[in-house]
Structure 1
């Protein structure tokens, strides 16, 4: 099915932004990028999803291995009494010594948080089978390396410009992989961060939508 994703501003990542823009998705690929009126006129039968704010390429989180393999995200509320609600790392994680199954469950919770930040790819290496399975099932691309220094953060924009966190520019014929943020432009995105994500699309599928 053809789907038009219309936004207040489309930021392709490799050319000028498109005010009142749209991205047409055909299956798992991008079929057109341009002003909404033009895209809609050429594809009148397409389903339309309208988003407030800024549509950008999907993001890469370069703390992927640290978040997915070296952090434990408690299952709130079921583990809150035992572990609290904050992620466990370092000595606290070592004391917990989670089984591979438990680490896989943590990774699934982490992938949902990543999708809610517009993330479509993470850096590795990710070696734990249960964690790799969680990442694959979420549809996230696993990149072999590229970690950055500093504390692991769910927000790919932490310490980086928005453009530095883009996985790849939006392109006709390229993968239907992008995110939408409830901000008006790139400057506001840099200031407010990826927590403003309202939708994430991977392979043409809407994998996250803020309720």
Structure 2
């Protein structure tokens, strides 16, 4: 089924920004990128999804292994006891979650990555975590040198936290025939996105499937 994802600004990366732009998705692939009016005229009958802000390629979370194996992502039911932010360092060691508890943490961590526009996540992962990553649809990017704790004050699901710009954070450019891995952020432009971060995500599309939508 053809779907047109349209936003006030499309940032394909490696090509000029497209105001009032659109990305046409056919199955799990990008069929076209261009102005919305042109795409709507060329693909009559396609379903249209309208989004606020900017549409970009999906993001790459380089510290995926660390965030999934050295952090505990609390269940909402544990918020009164543990809060809502990932636990790491001494707090993680004190909690000492068992395998079953960590399995739930991994699932929640993956869901929270999707809620930050992430489509590619840095590994490598232990087998049990790799299976969860595969089930989520997120694409594993082997990146062994990133398996150590990242050089910032604490865990953060925002791929921009280390100061990467958008071209350095996306998985790659949006290209015709490429995988339909997209993210949409409720910000006016690229500068606002890198400043405010991926917490502004309103939608994530992975292989053409809408896997996250802010309520």
Same fold flag (TM > 0.5): yes
Alpha-carbon distance between aligned partners in 1 of 2:32 and 2:83, rounded to the nearest angstrom: 46
Residue 160 of structure 1: CA displacement? 1.4
Q: Identify unmatched segments of 5+ residues in structure 2.
A: none
For residues 151-174 of structure 1, give each alpha carbon's deviation from its aligned partner in whole angstroms, at most 9, with x where no partner exists. 432000112112210101000000
What is the correspondence of 1:69-88 to structure 2 with a 5 Å cutoff?
A: 69-77=69-77, 79-88=78-87
Alpha-carbon distance between aligned partners in 1 of 2:85 and 2:44, rounded to the nearest angstrom: 47
Counterpart residue number, 2:212: 208
Asked whether the equivalents of residues 71 and 155 of structure 2 are also in contact (C-alpha less than 8 Å), the reply is no
Asked whether the equivalents of residues 60 and 119 of structure 2 are also in contact (C-alpha less than 8 Å), the reply is yes
Asked whether the equivalents of residues 28 and 175 of structure 1 are also in contact (C-alpha less than 8 Å), the reply is yes
Counterpart residue number, 1:121: 120
Q: Higher mean Cα deviation, 135-144 or 46-55?
A: 135-144
Counterpart residue number, 1:176: 180
Counterpart residue number, 1:9: 9
Give the count of matched residue pairs: 209
Counterpart residue number, 1:19: 19
Alpha-carbon distance between aligned partners in 2 of 1:55 and 1:85, rounded to the nearest angstrom: 28
* Residue 134 (structure 1) aligned with residue 137 (structure 2): no
Asked whether the equivalents of residues 53 and 188 of structure 2 are also in contact (C-alpha less than 8 Å), the reply is yes
Q: Identify unmatched segments of 5+ residues in structure 1.
A: none
TM-score by length of 2: 0.92
Asked whether the equivalents of residues 63 and 152 of structure 1 are also in contact (C-alpha less than 8 Å), the reply is no
Asked whether the equivalents of residues 162 and 190 of structure 1 are also in contact (C-alpha less than 8 Å), the reply is yes
TM-score by length of 1: 0.94
For residues 33-60 of structure 1, give each alpha carbon's deviation from its aligned partner in whole angstroms, at most 9, with x where no partner exists. 0011111101111000011110001000
Q: Higher mean Cα deviation, 99-108 or 32-41?
A: 99-108
CA RMSD, 1 decimal = 1.4
Residue 185 of structure 1: CA displacement? 0.9
